[in-house]
């Protein structure tokens, strides 16, 4: 069985509101369940591909300060 995780995640969120996306992210993080990590990774990938370099640098600094 070959599953395209990116397509599956994007399809699941396609018609979601901003609040629904936020709730999914927050509940996924709060669950502390590693099964949500691929989905969060897909969302991070979408974010990364669609922000400018200044925003990427801010994200990188937040990550660096908190790792």
User: By the 8 A CB rule, do 24 and 16 touch?
Assistant: yes
For CA atoms 48, 50, 28, 38, give the dihedral sign. negative
pTM here?
0.86
The total of other beta-carbon atoms located within 10 Å of residue 9's CB is 19
| Number of structural domains the chain divides into | 1
CA 16 to chain centre: 14
pLDDT of residue 3: 76
DSSP helix/strand/coil, 18: helix
Domain extent, residue 37, equals 5-66
Q: Using one digit for the tens of pLDDT, what is the confidence trace for 26-61?
A: 999 999 999 999 999 999 999 999 999 999 999 999
């Amino acid at each position: 069985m070959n599953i395209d995780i990116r397509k599956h995640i994007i399809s699941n969120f396609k018609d979601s509101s901003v609040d629904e996306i936020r709730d999914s992210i927050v509940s996924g993080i709060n669950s502390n369940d590693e099964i949500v990590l691929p989905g969060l990774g897909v969302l991070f990938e979408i974010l990364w591909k669609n922000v400018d370099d200044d925003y990427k640098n801010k994200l990188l600094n937040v990550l660096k300060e908190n790792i």
